[in-house]
Amino acid sequence: MARKYGSKALAVAALATASVGALAQTSENPIVTVLNSVSLAGVAAAIAALALVIVAIALTMKGPDVAKRIIRKV
């Protein structure tokens, strides 16, 4: 009997031990980890930089038109 079921019992015991070890690990929710890592100061800096880039692009596109108007009026 031990020969017949010995290796299977060993495999089942190893599997049970591995699954208990996997279930015993505590892990944090990844979404909570990401939300905790984002700070308001970083978000504010990113929004300010993006606004500055958008304004710079708009002024670059509008600059030649404004210069033409000024030249015509002079």
Give the CA-trace dihedral at 17, 20, 24, 25, to 10 degrees.
70
H/E stretch holding 15: helix 2-24
Q: Tell me the CA distances in angstroms from 51 to 40, 44, 57, 62, one per residue in order.
A: 16, 11, 10, 16
> Domain coordinates of the chain in residue numbers?
2-21+39-72
Residue pLDDT, tens place only, 12-24: 666 556 554 444 5
**pLDDT on residue 1:** 46
Low-confidence residues in the chain, pLDDT < 70 = 1-26
**pLDDT on residue 36:** 84
**pLDDT on residue 26:** 63
